[in-house]
Amino acid sequence: MRKQAILQMVAAGIAVVAMMAVPGSIRAQGGTAATKGAATVLTPAETQKLLPASVYYCGQSATTQLRNSGGVKFADGHYVLASLVDTSGYSTGVAEKYQAYFIAEVPIKVGGESLATGVYGVGFVGDKLVVTDVGAHDVLTVAAHEDAGLKRPVPLQVLADPAGGFRLYAGRKYVSFSR
């Protein structure tokens, strides 16, 4: 009987290790971080530990809305992070294009276009995502898409893209990005 119990414990341990080694349980919404290949989608609770309470953009300091944040941690430890910001002190023209603070620790592709490592302001304007540098100068503009099937849209989140890579969402609007 004792030998059988030991064998059951060993089998259970092997099953747990095997399940942890298999990538692919991609979280659609909420809960703990999910993996996408060798990268991890981060929840707002996880990004709150990484992002500052306020950020510099276009000569002013803006408070981040850390509850509306998301990101990705790649296998090599580098991050892509985003957080909505309070733009109440900015002019209307700047606030329209600057809705979120975006940090890319590595070069990425956004909507198929190359974006260098850096700190940016981003905003969904009409059917486009506009990426600006911290001086509010346009860096990149790409087409945004609508995800009518998204069950629970929130102001900002990052989710795994079923086609590969990741998606930065503002409500139902999104752009895909990848390494």
| Separation CA 169–CA 71 (nearest Å) | 11
Q: What's the pLDDT at 130?
A: 98
| Separation CA 170–CA 26 (nearest Å) | 19
Region 98-117 average pLDDT:
98
| Separation CA 78–CA 117 (nearest Å) | 11
Q: What's the pLDDT at 3?
A: 45
In a domain, 99, yes or no: yes
Kindly report, residue by residue over 126-176, the tens digit of the pLDDT: 999 999 999 999 999 999 999 999 999 999 999 999 999 999 999 999 999
CB 2 within 8 A of CB 132: no
In a domain, 92, yes or no: yes
pTM: 0.78
pLDDT tier, 38 (very low <50, low <70, confident <90, very high otherwise): confident
| Separation CA 31–CA 13 (nearest Å) | 24
| Separation CA 76–CA 30 (nearest Å) | 24
pLDDT tier, 9 (very low <50, low <70, confident <90, very high otherwise): very low
Average pLDDT, the chain: 84
CB 108 within 8 A of CB 115: yes
In a domain, 71, yes or no: yes
In a domain, 18, yes or no: no
pLDDT tier, 17 (very low <50, low <70, confident <90, very high otherwise): very low
Domain count of the fold of the chain: 1
In a domain, 9, yes or no: no
State the residue range of the domain holding 155.
Answer: 27-178
In a domain, 3, yes or no: no
In a domain, 133, yes or no: yes
Tokens 């620790």: give the residue: 105
In a domain, 60, yes or no: yes
